[in-house]
C-alpha cells in the first residue's frame, strides 16, 4: 500500500470514528434518560417512547456503519486501489 492509499485509509477511518462516536453519545444520552425515568417510576409516555425509539435508531445506524466500514476495510485490504466507503444514510436521531 502506497502512502497516498494509506493516508486515504487513515482519513476515512478517522471520519468513521468521528461519525460513530457521535451516534454513541446520542445513544448513551437518550438511553440514560429513559433508564433514569423508568427507575424513578415515571410512566411511559410519548416523549419517553420517542427517546427510546431514537436510541434504537442510533444503535441500528451504528450497526450499519460498522458493517459498511468493515466491508470497506476488506475491500482495501484485497484491492489494489481503495474507493471511498459507501455513505450510510444519515438519519436524524438527535
pLDDT of residue 36: 97
Residue ranges of the chain with pLDDT lower than 70? 80-94
Q: Where are the domains of the chain?
A: 20-78
pLDDT of residue 94: 47
The grid cell for 94 is: 438527535
23-35 pLDDT tens trace: 999 999 999 999 9
CA distance 88 to 70: 13
pLDDT of residue 79: 76
Pure H helices in 3-87: 3-39, 46-78
pTM for the model:
0.75
Q: Residue 78 phi/psi, 5° resolution?
A: -110, -15
Q: How far is CA 88 from CA 16, 70, 78, 91, in A?
A: 10, 13, 22, 9
pLDDT of residue 2: 85
Amino acid at each position: 500500500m502506497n502512502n497516498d492509499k494509506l493516508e486515504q485509509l487513515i482519513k476515512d477511518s478517522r471520519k468513521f470514528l468521528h461519525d460513530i462516536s457521535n451516534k454513541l453519545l446520542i445513544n448513551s444520552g437518550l438511553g440514560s434518560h429513559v433508564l433514569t425515568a423508568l427507575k424513578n417510576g415515571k410512566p411511559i409516555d410519548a416523549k419517553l417512547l420517542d427517546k427510546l425509539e431514537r436510541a434504537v435508531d442510533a444503535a441500528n445506524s451504528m450497526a450499519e456503519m460498522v458493517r459498511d466500514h468493515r466491508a470497506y476495510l476488506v475491500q482495501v485490504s484485497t484491492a489494489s486501489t481503495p474507493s471511498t466507503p459507501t455513505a450510510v444514510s444519515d438519519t436524524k436521531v438527535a
